[in-house]
Amino acid sequence: MALLEVRGLCKRFGGLQAVQDVSFGVEPGTVKALIGPNGAGKTTLFNLVSGVTAPDAGQVLLRGQAIQGRPPHEVAALGLSRTFQQIRLFPGMSALENVMVGAHVRGRAGFLAGLLRLPSTWREERALEARARRALELVELGHLAAAEATSLSYGQQRGVELARALASDPALLLLDEPAAGLNVRETDELARLIGRIRARGVTVLLVEHDMSLVMQVSDEVAVLCFGQKIADAAPQAVQRDPEVVRVYLGEDEC
Ligand SMILES: Nc1ncnc2c1ncn2[C@@H]1O[C@H](COP(=O)(O)OP(=O)(O)OP(=O)(O)O)[C@@H](O)[C@H]1O
Ligand SMILES: [Mg+2]
């Protein structure tokens, strides 16, 4: 069974059909890329899958369970986590504290227990901190745990975001343009990191414009254009697909 399956997803904004009847699956343990020109509907699709936006029609199935229209925190608790196209770190907090916000998704002690500083909360807080540290180490930023997150370099801030998404120990990780703004060396490191994440059994759905990264890390590539899926196959097959080539060379409309 696919870990994630979307069926007939549709989303309209006023007169614009941002996502139109899109279906695809992501097999467990694989990396799937979602590519397409600016405005193709990639981020909108991520928002539909992660519960940020409710679809007009269609289904999102996680391990066969319908989750469309559920709020983001419920979707996150089911094992789906994501990063955002624009970095969203909390200023005035350390890298570690920012990552702990992600680890909290899995915490059981409630808000009230937290306020009362019950022993159960304290123990849980320590466990969350340990998990957040492991996530920071995985992205090779363990040595910067105490640094203020927004004082880090752009590439490091992207790493903290990724660690935050990993800290909840997700089954499925959605990355929205993780290489945006990274230099060549940082992009190479990101490719290796995605490989390590995959090797840990985390399934990845990746939106990315950097084609060499996409070709390097993906098992499958789906292509969106004006809200519609126009290809979905192995990377080499997608690269040779005449319609995909047309879209990317801008010779024609899809
Ligand atoms: N909340 C919204 N209200 C109105 N229109 C929106 C909204 N969100 C997205 N759109 C529009 O929907 C279309 C798809 O946008 P989306 O952000 O999903 O594209 P994208 O593929 O992620 O593009 P990019 O590669 O530039 O990030 C665009 O035309 C965009 O302007
Ligand atoms: Mg986008």
The per-residue pLDDT for range 120-156, each reduced to its tens digit, is 677 778 888 999 999 999 999 999 999 999 999 999 9
Around 15, how many Cα atoms within 13 Å sit in the side-chain half-sphere? 0
Task: Evaluate: CB of 9 within 6 angstroms of ligand 1.
Answer: no
Residue with tokens 């996680």: 62
Predicted confidence band at 106 (pLDDT cuts at 50, 70, 90)?
Answer: low
**What percentage of the chain has pLDDT greater than the value 90?**
83
Task: Evaluate: CB of 42 within 6 angstroms of ligand 1.
Answer: yes
Give the predicted TM-score (pTM) of the model.
Answer: 0.92
Strand partners, 223: 35, 231
Task: Evaluate: CB of 19 within 6 angstroms of ligand 1.
Answer: no
pLDDT, greater one: 110 or 167:
167
pLDDT at 134: 96
Kindly report the protein residue whose alpha carbon is nearest to atom 24 of ligand 1.
38
Predicted confidence band at 250 (pLDDT cuts at 50, 70, 90)?
Answer: low
Kindly report the protein residue whose alpha carbon is nearest to atom 12 of ligand 1.
18
3-class SS letters over 202-223: CEEEEECCCHHHHHHHCCEEEE
Amino acid identity of 99? Answer: V
Which residues make up the environment of ion ligand 2, defined by Cβ < 5 Å?
42-43, 85
Look over the chain and give the mean of its residue pLDDT values, rounded to a whole number.
92
Residue with tokens 């937290």: 114
pLDDT reading at 43 higher than 80? yes
pLDDT at 72: 92
Joined tokens for residue 159: 């790493």
Kindly report the protein residue whose alpha carbon is nearest to atom 27 of ligand 1.
38
Is 129 within 8 Å of 144 (Cβ atoms)?
no
Q: How far apart are CA 32 and CA 148, in angstroms?
A: 33
Task: Evaluate: CB of 43 within 6 angstroms of ligand 1.
Answer: yes
Around 192, how many Cα atoms within 13 Å sit in the side-chain half-sphere? 9
Kindly report the protein residue whose alpha carbon is nearest to atom 18 of ligand 1.
41
Report the length, in residues, of the chain: 254
pLDDT tens digit sequence for 182-237: 999 999 999 999 999 999 999 999 999 999 999 999 999 999 999 999 999 999 99
pLDDT tens digit sequence for 162-172: 999 999 999 99
All structural domains of the chain, each given as residue ranges with its CATH number in brackets, are: 1-79+170-254 (3.40.50.300), 93-167 (no CATH)
Around 199, how many Cα atoms within 13 Å sit in the side-chain half-sphere? 7
pLDDT reading at 112 higher than 70? no
